[in-house]
Homo-oligomer: A and B are copies of this chain.
């Protein structure tokens, strides 16, 4: 079972993918002494109109710096909605020799297109991670479920991503079984913490037999955030399943905890509501921030919308 930390990639949603150089150095140093296999450092992306920082593009000097400072396998991720197979040579050839795995963030509705992208990535010799979002809605994605087996021979890790942070351990087991019935490809799990179920869901996924799970330091990540690296490591250490250098761990937790006080990631009532009802947290937050409407009316409007009911 492999562990992947994606703090710089997923945490970038709060810092617009810019991180202090000293912080990144401390991050790599600490992880050199921690039992984590992969570090996902950011995106590779075609150039966008608005400003996005270093770890959204991971240019050559970022890759070199990571390779020099980290003894771990390095990972980048592609946003499938913005990247096509024909972009792969330009985007990924500079990564050869630096990056071990390329992951792809995928809407299950774009499965076929994502598979062509995965084939192009695989040809360059990378391990391929296939991060399929919205697992709490897969029951309604019959076409996607019927296609999963087409990943065989192309994808190294097929990820179940709990985008809304709304699944329970029993849902993890059920979805794992559905995927395992379709493919022998290694399975991964990426949890979100809206309902503070990221630890128990991840431990359940491990118990089911997944081959890789994701964490971020202090849970830094979009919206309510992720499973905290320090929580999974401490829990697995407490169960006697791995040795752990708590000094190294606290050296990386301390600076991110300080940033958390400023940026405030972690769950709260609107994120809990979006998790419990599989509502997009971006929309919940944008309504809540406006403070024009009561929470009851926002929740009613979004719930109706997600059921396809028009609301005024």
Contacts and interface: CB of A to CB of B under 8 A. Distances in A.
B295 A250 contact: yes
A193 B231 CA distance: 12
Number of copies: 2
Contacts of A197: 199-200
A181 interface: no
A249 to B, nearest CB: 7
Given A199-B196, A237-B276, A277-B238, A296 B246 contact: yes
A120 interface: no
A272 B198 CA distance: 15
Contacts of A23: none
A238 B166 contact: yes
A231 B200 CA distance: 15
Contacts of A195: 199, 231, 234-235
B247 A295 contact: yes
B250 A269 contact: yes
A273 B246 contact: yes
Main secondary structure of the interface of A (DSSP, over half): helix
Contacts of A237: 276
A179 B139 CA distance: 39
A256 to B, nearest CB: 11
A234 B199 CA distance: 19
A286 interface: no
Closest 5 CB pairs of A and B: A238-B276, A246-B295, A234-B272, A200-B200, A196-B196
18 contacts: A195-B199, A197-B200, A200-B200, A231-B267, A234-B272, A234-B276, A235-B276, A237-B276, A239-B276, A246-B273, A246-B294, A246-B296, A247-B294, A247-B295, A249-B269, A249-B295, A250-B295, A257-B268
